[in-house]
Amino acid sequence: MRILVSCANGAGTSLMMKMKVQQALKELGIEIREIRHCSISEGKSAAKNYDVVFCSANFVDMFKDAEAKGVKIIGMKNILSVEEAKDRLKEAGLC
Positions marked active-site = 7
* CA proximity to 23, closest of 50, 54, 47, 51: 54
- Three-state DSSP state, 22: helix
- How far apart CA 26 and CA 30 sit, in angstroms, is 6
- How far apart CA 83 and CA 58 sit, in angstroms, is 19
* CA proximity to 60, closest of 6, 1, 20: 6
